[in-house]
Amino acid sequence: MSAKAVKKLQSVLGDAILETTNFRGDEEVRVALKDWVRIAEVLRDDPDLAMDHFTDLTAVDWPEREMEGQPRFDVLFAVRSLSKRHRIRVKVYVKDGEEVPTLCGVWAGANWAEREVFDMFGIRFAGHRDLRRILLYEEFEGYPLRKDYPIDRVQPLVEYRDVDDTLKLPPFGIEEGQPFARVDWEERLAGRDEQVSPSIGLQQGQRRALSDSEIAETQFTKKAEETAAE
Amino acid sequence: MEPADEILEEEDAALEIPADPMRLNMGPSHPAMHGTIRMVLDLDGETVMNVDVQPGYLHRGFEKSCERGTWSQVFPYVDRLNYVSPMLNNVGFALAVEKLLDVKVPDRGQYYRVILGELARICDHFTCNGASAMELGAFTPFLWLLKVRDWIWDILEKETGARMTHSFGRIGGMAAPPTEGFKDDVRAIMPEVRKVVGEAEALLLKNRIFLDRMEGVGKLSKERALALGVTGPVLRSTGVAYDVRKDHPYLVYDRFDFDVPVGTDGDNWDRFMVRTEEIRQSLRIIEQALEQMPDEGPVSIDDPRIMLPEKREVYSTIEATIAHFKLVMEGLKAPKGAVYSFTEGGNGELGFYIVSDGSGTPYRVRVRPPCWFNLQAAREMIMGDMIADIIPTFGSVNMIGGECDR
C-alpha cells in the first residue's frame, strides 16, 4: 500500500475523492458512484499509478446504516501495480436497488467478481454483459450475504424434481444446517436486540431461541395451508 | 464402396458432414473435472469455439458461516478452503486477524509457520503436478509424488494431530510449540523429497506424449493474466515474477534467500515447470528456516485477551479460568475496522478482507480465492484448443473446489 498513490490520485481527480483512510497501512479512498469507472481508468492508465493487476471486488452489507438514511452497501475493489508494487482500495456507497457501473471494461477480472457480488448481495452492475448467478442456482431465493438473510433459512425445492409430497422431503431438513448464530439480524434490525450472547438473551426472554427454525416452520405451515386450500 | 480418389469433385459437397457447432456438457461429475466444475462447450469438430465455465457446485456458504461465530471459530472453515494445503490458509487467516489486532507473533512462531506452510506448499504442488501427469496417462509419477506427500503428512500429523484439516493456526500464534525432534524429522525427509522431484522429472520431461500435450497448450498472455487477476504459479508461468513472499514479504520471508521461478509462454509446460522449481525453492526456504529457527522461546504471543491460556493453568488458577471463559464465550474483541491481508497460498495470492464491528463476531470475512481468478482465466486458455487439451489445461490451473466455490 502506498500513500504516494493516494496523493497522486488526489492531485489528478481532486474533489472526486470524498474520503481517504489508512487503517493498519491499507490505503482506501471513497468516491461517489458517478466517478466509479473514471477512477478505475485513472488508476489503470496513469503512468505513476499503473494499477494493471486486478486483485478483488467485493461488497459489505450495512443494513443499520440504511435506517439512518445512508446507502446500504459498500462496494469496493482492490488493485495493485506490478511495476510500482503499490496497492489501493476504492470504495463506493451504494443504495439498495442502485446499479453500479461495471468495471469489466477496465479490468477483465472484474467479470466473475461482479457476478459473485450480484449473486450474494443482489447488487446489479450496469453494463455487465453476463450478469447471472455464479455460485448459486437460478431458482435461489434471496441474497445470502445480506445481513437480513437468516443463516438457517430453508430454500424451496426447485420445480424440476417430480416428487409428490415435497413437505416430507425438504432438501435440507428443518433441523439440519446451522441452527445458531451469535447475532440475530432479524431482531437487531427490528430494534429489539442488544444482546450478543444468544443463550443469555434467551434466558432473559429478550429473544426467541436462535436454534428453533421459525422461518422453516412458517414456510412449512404456509405450504401445508396452500395444499389444504387446493 | 468406391475408393475415395475416384469420387468426382462435383459430388464432394454432398459428402460433407454438416458442420453445425455442437454443444457439449463437461462435468460437473467428470473424472478430469476434479473439484466439480461444469463446462459448457461449443465445439466445431474437436476444436473448442466457446466455453462457459460454471463453478459453484461446492458452494458451502463459507463467508456466511464465518459471520455467526467468533474469530477463532473460523479456523476449521479455512482449513476446508484449499484442502490440499490447509496450513497456508490457517496461517493466512491468522495473519489477517493479527493485522487487524496489530500484534506480531514471536520469532519462533513465525519460523514455525514458515516451515509448516512451505511443507504444505510442497504438498500442493506435488498433488497438482502428479494429478496433471496422471490425467495424461502417466500414473507412476502420481504415485511417486503422493508418496512424498505422505511423508510430509506424517510430519504434519505429528505436529498438529491431523493429516489434512489441521486447524492448527491460532490468532496470535500456533496451537502448540514444535514437538521435540521436529527439526530432525524435517531434515530427514529433505534429501528424499529432492530425490523424488528429480525422479519425477526424469520420468516425464523427455516423454513424447507428455511434451506434446503440455507444450504450447493452454497459453495465456502476460497482459491478460494481469487484467484477469491471475496470481501464483499460473501468473508466474506467463513471465511475471510476482510472488507475495518476495514482493510484500510477510512473516520472516525477507530473511531467506530464494528465487522466484518464471516461465515464458504461459502454457501448461511452463506451469508444470514453475511448480516443480518452486518445490525446490520451498526446500531451500525450509533448510534456511530450520537453520535460523530458535530452539527455545514461545511460539505464541503472551496476551490473555488473544491467546487461550494453557489448559493446566485454566484448571488451577482463577485468572486463567476467567480468561479462557471470556475468550470462548465472548470471543476475541477485534477493534472496529477493515483490513485486507494477503499471503502466497498454494495457487497464488490468498487474501482475506475482514471487517470487524468491534464485537466478538466477524462482521464480514471475504476470501479472495486465488483459484477463482485463475479459473476465470481458464476460459481464455481453453478456447481455440482441442477438447482433449482441456484436461491438461484444467489440471495445471489447479482449481481447488473448496477454495474456488467456498
Domain ranges of chain B: 62-308+334-359
Given a contact cutoff of 8 angstroms between Cβ atoms, the answer to whether A42 and A16 are in contact is no
The nearest CA of chain B is from the CA of A226 a distance in Å of: 30
Mutate to test the interface with A, among B366, B381, B399 (most CBs of A within 10 A): B366
Q: Cell numbers at residue B189, please?
A: 525427509
Q: Which of A54, A82, A134 sits opposite B240 (nearest CB)?
A: A82
Residue B74 has pLDDT above 80, yes or no: yes
Cβ within 8 Å, pair B376-A120? no
Please tell me the distance from the alpha carbon of residue A64 to that of residue A84, in angstroms, as a whole number: 38
pLDDT at residue A166, rounded to an integer = 43
Chain B residues in contact with A196 by the CB 8 A cut-off are: 330, 359-361
Per residue in A87-134, pLDDT tens? 888 999 998 888 899 988 888 888 899 989 999 998 999 888 888 888
Selected residue with higher pLDDT from A221 and B149: B149
Please tell me the distance from the alpha carbon of residue A81 to that of residue B247, in angstroms, as a whole number: 11
Confidence of residue A192 (pLDDT cuts 50, 70, 90): low
Please tell me the distance from the alpha carbon of residue B267 to that of residue B210, in angstroms, as a whole number: 13
Residue A210 has pLDDT above 50, yes or no: no
Cα A11–A13–A16 angle (5° rounding)?
A: 125
Task: Give the residue-averaged pLDDT of B210-234.
Answer: 87
Please tell me the distance from the alpha carbon of residue B237 to that of residue B244, in angstroms, as a whole number: 15
Per residue in A27-58, pLDDT tens? 888 888 888 888 888 888 888 888 888 889 99
Residue A142 has pLDDT above 60, yes or no: yes
Chain A residues in contact with B355 by the CB 8 A cut-off are: 60
Chain B residues in contact with A183 by the CB 8 A cut-off are: 67-68, 359, 361
Q: Does domain B62-308+334-359 have CATH number 1.10.645.10?
A: yes
Chain A: residue whose CA lies nearest to B227: A107
Hey, which bits of B224-361 come out as E strands?
A: 337-344, 349-356
pLDDT at residue B353, rounded to an integer = 92
Tell me the average pLDDT of chain B: 86
Worst-scoring range by mean pLDDT, A18-22, B275-279, B342-346, B390-394?
A18-22
The nearest CA of chain A is from the CA of B198 a distance in Å of: 33
Cβ within 8 Å, pair B364-A60? yes
Cβ within 8 Å, pair B339-A60? no
Cβ within 8 Å, pair A58-B366? yes
Per residue in B317-327, pLDDT tens? 998 898 888 88
Please tell me the distance from the alpha carbon of residue B105 to that of residue B171, in angstroms, as a whole number: 9
Give the closest residue to B58 by CA, choosing from B25, B83, B90.
B83
A-B contacts at Cβ under 8 angstroms: 115
Given a contact cutoff of 8 angstroms between Cβ atoms, the answer to whether B294 and B111 are in contact is yes
Residue A214 has pLDDT above 60, yes or no: no
Per residue in B5-22, pLDDT tens? 555 555 555 555 556 777
pLDDT at residue A220, rounded to an integer = 64
Mutate to test the interface with A, among B36, B40, B62, B67 (most CBs of A within 10 A): B67
Q: By a Cβ cutoff of 8 Å, what residues of chain A touch chain B?
A: 23-24, 26, 28, 52-56, 58, 60-61, 78, 82, 85, 89, 107-109, 111-113, 116, 120, 133-137, 144-145, 149, 151, 178, 180-183, 196-197
Chain A residues in contact with B329 by the CB 8 A cut-off are: 197
List the CATH code of the domain at A3-126.
Answer: 3.30.460.80
pLDDT at residue B50, rounded to an integer = 83
Cβ within 8 Å, pair B360-A182? yes
Chain B residues in contact with A134 by the CB 8 A cut-off are: 54-56
Cβ within 8 Å, pair B338-A54? no
Cβ within 8 Å, pair B359-A111? no
Chain B residues in contact with A109 by the CB 8 A cut-off are: 227-230, 373, 376
Q: Which of B56, B248, B360 sits opposite A134 (nearest CB)?
A: B56
Confidence of residue A219 (pLDDT cuts 50, 70, 90): low
The nearest CA of chain A is from the CA of B362 a distance in Å of: 10
Cβ within 8 Å, pair A56-B247? no
Angle at which helix B370-382 crosses helix A110-121, to 10 degrees, equals 130
pLDDT at residue A8, rounded to an integer = 77
Cβ within 8 Å, pair A182-B337? no
Please tell me the distance from the alpha carbon of residue A149 to that of residue A95, in angstroms, as a whole number: 17
Cβ within 8 Å, pair B226-A112? no
Residue B133 has pLDDT above 70, yes or no: yes
Chain B: residue whose CA lies nearest to A132: B54
Please tell me the distance from the alpha carbon of residue B324 to that of residue B39, in angstroms, as a whole number: 49
Task: Give the residue-averaged pLDDT of B16-41.
Answer: 76
The nearest CA of chain B is from the CA of A101 a distance in Å of: 18
Task: Give the residue-averaged pLDDT of B175-186.
Answer: 88
Chain B residues in contact with A82 by the CB 8 A cut-off are: 226, 240, 242
Cβ within 8 Å, pair B339-A24? yes
Can you give the residue ranges of every domain in chain A?
Answer: 3-126, 166-229
Mutate to test the interface with B, among A2, A112, A210 (most CBs of B within 10 A): A112
Residue A217 has pLDDT above 70, yes or no: no
Q: Which of B228, B240, B248 sits opposite A54 (nearest CB)?
A: B228
Q: Which of A26, A52, A56 sits opposite B368 (nearest CB)?
A: A56
Please tell me the distance from the alpha carbon of residue B180 to that of residue B209, in angstroms, as a whole number: 46
CA B162 to chain centre: 18
Give the position of cell 487477476: B229
Please tell me the distance from the alpha carbon of residue B379 to that of residue B368, in angstroms, as a whole number: 19
Task: Give the residue-averaged pLDDT of B91-113.
Answer: 90
Task: Give the residue-averaged pLDDT of A145-174.
Answer: 62
Model-level pTM? 0.81
Chain A residues in contact with B360 by the CB 8 A cut-off are: 182, 196
Residue A177 has pLDDT above 50, yes or no: no
Cβ within 8 Å, pair B224-A108? yes
**Helical H segments across B170-267, by residue range:** 182-204, 208-214, 222-227, 232-236, 244-247
Mutate to test the interface with A, among B53, B242, B340 (most CBs of A within 10 A): B340
